[in-house]
Amino acid sequence: MRSISRLGMKAEQTQGIVQRFLTAVKHRHEQRHAINPEGNALVNAICSMMQSIEKREQSFGRMREGMDESVTFDALIAKSGDPSSPDAVFGKLRWGGVFGYVGQQGQQVRRLAEMYDGRNGFVLERGVETIWGGRGFMGIGRKKGYSFIARKVHLIQPGEVTDRFTYCVQLTKAAQVEDGYVVTKYVPSFENIVYRLKHRFPDASKEDLSARARKFVDHVFPTFLTREAAFLKILAERLPEEYKDRVPKLLGIEKDHRGFVTKLHMNWMRTGSQHLSQIEFATQAADLLSALHDHAEVIHLDLRLDNIVVTDEGVGFVDFGSAVRIGEKIAESRMLTSLFSEMMRTSQIQRMLGKMIDDGHVTNEEMTAAHQKVDKAVDSYYLAVQINKPYGNPEFGHLIDFDAESEEAKALSALTAAILRPKHPDKTEFKSASDILRGIKRIEQRLNRSRSSRAA
């Protein structure tokens, strides 16, 4: 009987493996058809070539007119006749994504490749080369073309002005690391800062813009970048082992003649491929923030969605340039007092907190007391806000299964309301990230019980 039982179990396991294999084959066929519905032999050839660079075939797409602006890809393919300019491709690719182009006119392909060769936010992974499509023998019956493959290495296009990012951040080739790239974060040039300030303050005089830019380049940015390097070392030392892959690892620094850091090299925390439910996103973010506060004793102070990542290791945090140590005496340094006072007045999070306090949307006294202050309650406030809109970051929004009408979305929205506007503002249950984590876990347990009872 045991032998029969074991045989039955093996048969079920084999059947499961076969079923998963067939499902994967079917999905791959459907994906290939979506990329290449016309069955173009050269498109198939460039697709196969790109798979040696980008393994996540489920994130491949084809450049077309009228593409959904909200959808992005890890890899995009185009042939002659498809939209293929760097401007058209940049916004459709995730950071670090690859673009493969194939055409039959060698000169045209080479001209296009030049636009991606260290320009417009891209670098070439593979330069122009001959490619063959279809089946045949020694070129007979096969289609000849020319191709190149480029990678998006800049977060924003050169010349673009945005409030999302302050420093210059890009991927830099590094053969000794697993993904072949590291993240390089560095102080922008004086000219870059003048350009951005002029865009923000169009009526400011040339002298005023130059003075502001010089202050940023010589003092503000190097100070915060130096602090970020120090905080990455603190996190490496103090965070429990299970959290260390969810914050950046410092790989190297470059300093100016004064000893200030002007360039950081960190590991690439690449967007993952595994989907998360909204409650998984909330749980992991709250858990990491709790570890940050309770173990590393670090306050982030800038937990915008732009500084949250979703990798194959889970939800992570980046950009610790604004961070402070719990108990750090900022007031003892005149320079830090000035810098952080300015940051408290101008930061997006502080402006939003102030508005929500004025509008009566935040009454929790732990949070109202933190307005324009260096306080871990600022992190807890923004965490409570972010768990309700994880779709807001274009780099990972596609990985979060969010439905505003779902039970978990409504439950998390109610939790956020309870955190921000408790019945008794001076006696709130939610004073820390750990408190928020417990609230999320209670929701998760309740939803699991509800699902189990419905299934029964």
Domains of the chain, each with CATH number or no CATH: 38-152 (no CATH), 154-268 (no CATH), 271-451 (1.10.510.10)
Task: Find the radius of gyration of the CA atoms of the chain.
Answer: 25
Beta bridge partners of 220: none
The model's pLDDT over 159-179, given as tens digits with 9 standing for 90+, comes to 777 666 678 899 999 978 877
Which one-letter DSSP state was computed for residue 129?
A: E
Q: What are phi and psi of 391, to 5 degrees?
A: -75, -5
Give the span between the Cα atoms of 116 and 131, in whole angstroms. 19
Quick one: how many helices (H) and strands (E) in the chain? 14, 15
User: pLDDT (tens digit, 9 = 90+) per residue, 386-413?
Assistant: 998 888 888 888 889 999 999 999 999 9
Give the SS3 label for residue 272: coil
Task: For residue 128, give the nearest of 107, 153, 151 by alpha carbon.
Answer: 107
Distance (Å, rounded) from C-alpha 98 to C-alpha 93?
Answer: 7
pLDDT for residue 133 is more than 90: no
Element (H, E) at 123: strand 122-133
- Comparing 117 with 340, the larger pLDDT belongs to 117
Type and span of the H or E element at 310: strand 308-311
Q: Which residues make Cβ contacts (< 8 Å) with residue 383, sequence separation at least 6? A: 285, 286, 289, 303, 433, 436
Choose between 53 and 355: higher pLDDT: 355
Q: Which residues contact 13 (CB under 8 A, 6 or more apart)?
A: none
Among 153, 383, 173, 392, which Cα is nearest to 290's?
383
| CA separation for the pair 109, 143 (Å, rounded) | 16
pLDDT above 50: residue 26: no
- pLDDT (tens digit, 9 = 90+) per residue, 74-123? 999 999 999 999 999 999 999 999 999 999 999 999 999 999 999 999 99
Per-residue model confidence (pLDDT) at position 25: 44
Is the pLDDT at 16 greater than 60, yes or no?
A: no
pLDDT higher than threshold 60 for residue 313? yes
3-state SS class at 94: strand
CA–CA separation, 391 and 387 (whole Å)? 10
Q: What percent of the chain has pLDDT over 90?
A: 60
